[in-house]
């Protein structure tokens, strides 16, 4: 979903690629909250016409990453306690349900892939690579969603997940204790899914995300 670096990105035509590039710039703080996003500047930066830029901006508005004001134009959406609360009130039960469903489905192909992601998480954690850790964590979460094998749930989580990305990266980049808890929690989630422990997978997932919510809330309020 996310790109590791935007330095060498050359987007030619496809709105999907442009959305990914701008999404990454917003999540990783290259386009901070409140930044004005001008069609002409984006088109020039990525060497595309304005048509795919307009489409990309519309999609990012829909995903809650951009806001449009008649007087101020398009800008990166602010980070706020209210937005955080609305996202996480929905995200916690849905992520818990996805983890429980993944345990119930117990697809044998999923466990090795989760372990690969877990190894990536631990490697990035040990090396202090926060951006790499975040990208691996998003991949881990997406795998759990896919393992739940519920298209309606996946669709709901995709929308909420995009809105949560900035808050998740903000938390990992400013609260080291949360990264430690995330590594430990991810190990537990893999164990619970492996053991077909639906209740345990749900509980660990919800507890981990609730802790993240509280941590981010404290950082925003500080």
Report the chain's mean pLDDT, rounded to a whole number.
Answer: 91
Q: Return d(Cα 22, Cα 55) in angstroms, integer.
A: 12
Number of compact structural domains in the chain:
2
Residues spanned by the domain of 45: 15-76
Boundary-marking domain end, from 76, 95, 112: 76
Do 69 and 99 share a domain, yes or no? no
Do 61 and 101 share a domain, yes or no? no
Q: Return d(Cα 178, Cα 171) in angstroms, integer.
A: 7
pLDDT band at 7 (very low <50, low <70, confident <90, very high): very low
Boundary-marking domain end, from 23, 57, 76: 76
CB 68 within 8 A of CB 61: yes
Question: Is the confidence at residue 6, as pLDDT, over 60?
Answer: no
Q: How many residues appear in the chain?
A: 222
User: What is the helix (H) or strand (E) element at residue 156, kind and residue range?
Assistant: helix 151-174
CATH number at residue 104: 1.20.120.530
Question: Is the confidence at residue 58, as pLDDT, over 90?
Answer: yes
CB 3 within 8 A of CB 21: yes
Do 103 and 212 share a domain, yes or no? yes
CB 28 within 8 A of CB 131: yes
- The proportion of the chain whose per-residue pLDDT surpasses 90, expressed as a percent, equals 82
Do 166 and 110 share a domain, yes or no? yes
At 51, list the tokens.
Answer: 């048509």
Do 179 and 121 share a domain, yes or no? yes
Within-domain flag for 3: no
CATH number at residue 35: 1.10.10.10
Do 108 and 214 share a domain, yes or no? yes
Do 118 and 46 share a domain, yes or no? no
Those residues with Cβ within 8 angstroms of residue 84's Cβ, 6 or more apart along the chain or in another chain: 167, 213, 216, 217, 220
- The proportion of the chain whose per-residue pLDDT surpasses 70, expressed as a percent, equals 93
Distance of CA 164 to the CA centre of its chain: 6
At 45, list the tokens.
Answer: 């930066």
Within-domain flag for 44: yes
Q: Return d(Cα 191, Cα 193) in angstroms, integer.
A: 6
Do 153 and 212 share a domain, yes or no? yes
Within-domain flag for 5: no
* Nearest alpha carbon to residue 67 among 59, 58, 76: 76
Do 19 and 99 share a domain, yes or no? no
Do 68 and 92 share a domain, yes or no? no
65-106: per-residue pLDDT in tens? 999 987 878 999 999 999 999 999 999 999 999 999 999 998
Those residues with Cβ within 8 angstroms of residue 206's Cβ, 6 or more apart along the chain or in another chain: 92, 93, 95, 96
């Amino acid at each position: 979903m996310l790109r590791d670096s935007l330095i060498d990105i050359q987007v030619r035509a496809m709105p999907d690629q442009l959305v990914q590039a701008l999404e990454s710039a917003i999540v990783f703080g290259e386009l901070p909250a409140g930044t004005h996003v001008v069609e002409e500047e984006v088109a020039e930066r990525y060497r595309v016409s304005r048509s795919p830029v307009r489409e990309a901006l519309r999609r990012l508005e829909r995903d809650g990453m951009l806001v449009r004001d008649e007087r101020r134009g398009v800008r990166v959406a602010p980070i706020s306690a209210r937005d955080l609360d609305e996202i996480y009130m929905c995200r916690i039960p849905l992520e818990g349900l996805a983890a429980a469903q993944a345990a119930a489905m117990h697809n044998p192909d999923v466990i090795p892939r989760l372990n690969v992601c877990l190894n990536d998480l631990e490697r990035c954690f040990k090396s202090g690579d926060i951006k790499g850790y975040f990208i691996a964590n998003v991949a881990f979460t997406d795998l759990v969603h896919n393992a739940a094998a519920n298209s309606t749930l996946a669709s709901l989580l995709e929308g909420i997940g995009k809105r949560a990305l900035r808050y998740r990266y903000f938390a990992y980049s400013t609260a080291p204790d949360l990264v430690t808890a995330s590594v430990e929690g991810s190990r537990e989630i893999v164990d619970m899914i492996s053991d077909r422990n639906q209740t345990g997978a749900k509980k660990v997932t919800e507890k981990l995300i609730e802790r993240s919510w509280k941590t981010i809330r404290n950082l925003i309020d500080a």
